[in-house]
Amino acid sequence: MINYLPPELTYSVSHAFINAGIVRVPGVKLEFPVELGKLRIKNPIGLGAGIDKDGLLVGSIANSGVGFVTIGSVTLRPRLGNPKPRIVKYPHLKAMVNAMGLPSRGFMDFMSRINNIIKVIGKFNVSLVVSLAGFSIEEFLIMLNRLRNFGIHAVEINISSPTYHGSWISDPKYLSELLNALEDFDTLFFIKMPLGVGLDFYKWIAHEAEKHGYGLTIANTLPVSEPRISVGYGGLSGYPIYPLVKALIRRVRAWGFRGPVIGLGGVFHGWQVIELLRSGANLVAVVTAFAYEGPFVFNRLLREFVSLSVRF
């Protein structure tokens, strides 16, 4: 029912409920650890970027069975994002289109809470990924320098938001300068792939990530036009993009990419978690399923995943 209310209203009300502790998920004891190099993640199911943009919810969802949480995308300076309406839901398709426009309280605001965030995720043994969005290489570097030594488990580099209007993707020279610059940090990086671009780009970025030892997050939303959104376009997420994501993970593995992969896009069921892992993902995240179901989704996915894994 809640999913038929105005989407931004649902978004703000559910954030307020989760934050206030009104929505409480019973603690989950199931563990299904995944090893990524030195990192041990208690289970492969996590929250993707876009729900907890400023790290305000993580404390309330850390005990929901989630294996890892992605905070962000955080931008260096505070941003309001696009004018509303900026989300349109398609509940019958388990999908939505959004053009949030990378709203963020800004990096300094996030950093003011980082010690508490690290404490709470440590308490529940949840791994932390921070997604950074930047409009220049310098912006990324300023944030990465400040994040050094905080023990963040991984950083996701968002180069694929529809808000960039393709800038990072259409300028591989500048993008490769950014990828080179990341070499200076002793961090597990995931480069977030776009949907809807040509095979040449995918091949190139998979090759670059392999060369530098970075992981890939596959994938961001699919850019589409949507006249009901203030800016007339947005990114499609949810069930309809699932086949594209699965195919892209398979392709990247077939090209020989050996680094870690976070698969996300349209996952609503435990069988999809298994399918993405079998396609070559190491971890699986959800965003739209969380938007529809709230933090209960992790408990359900984990139970479905574990019971199916035992049967196969």
Ligand X SMILES: Cc1cc2nc3c(=O)[nH]c(=O)nc-3n(C[C@H](O)[C@H](O)[C@H](O)COP(=O)(O)O)c2cc1C
| Half-sphere exposure in the Cβ direction for 36 (13 Å, CA) | 26
**Binding segment for ligand X among 12-20, 115-123, 137-145, 280-288 (CB under 6 A)?**
280-288
Question: For residues 102 and 192, is the Cβ–Cβ distance under 8 A?
Answer: no
- Interface with ligand X includes 96 (CB under 6 A)? yes
**Binding segment for ligand X among 38-46, 47-55, 109-117, 120-128 (CB under 6 A)?**
47-55
The counts of H helices and E strands in the chain are 12, 14
In Å, how far from its chain's centre is CA 290? 12
Q: Which residues make Cβ contacts (< 8 Å) with residue 9, sequence separation at least 6?
A: none
- Minimum distance between the CB of residue 149 and ligand X, rounded to whole angstroms? 24
14's tokens: 């559910």
Name which of 206 and 273 has its Cβ closer to ligand X.
273
Phi/psi-derived region of residue 291, left when phi > 0, alpha when psi is between -120 and 50, beta in every other case: alpha
Name which of 168 and 257 has its Cβ closer to ligand X.
168
Name which of 65 and 72 has its Cβ closer to ligand X.
72
- Interface with ligand X includes 49 (CB under 6 A)? yes
Binds ligand X (CB under 6 A): choice among 98, 127, 272, 299: 98
| Half-sphere exposure in the Cβ direction for 16 (13 Å, CA) | 6
Within 193-252, the residues that bind ligand X by CB under 6 A are: 220-221, 237-238, 241
**Binding segment for ligand X among 17-25, 45-53, 57-65, 273-281 (CB under 6 A)?**
45-53
Name which of 99 and 206 has its Cβ closer to ligand X.
99
Within 2-31, the residues that bind ligand X by CB under 6 A are: none
Name which of 87 and 178 has its Cβ closer to ligand X.
87
Nearest alpha-carbon partner for 144 in 155, 135, 158:
155
Nearest alpha-carbon partner for 129 in 216, 200, 210:
216
**Binding segment for ligand X among 26-34, 95-103, 139-147, 170-178 (CB under 6 A)?**
95-103
Give me the residue whose beta carbon is nearest to ligand X: 50
240's tokens: 């309809």
Question: For residues 208 and 176, is the Cβ–Cβ distance under 8 A?
Answer: yes
CA–CA distance, 236 with 266 (Å, rounded to integer): 10
Number of residues that bind ligand X (CB under 6 A): 28
- Interface with ligand X includes 284 (CB under 6 A)? no
Enumerate binding residues for ligand X (CB under 6 A).
48-50, 53, 72-73, 87, 96, 98, 100, 102, 131, 158, 161, 192, 220-221, 237-238, 241, 264-267, 286-289
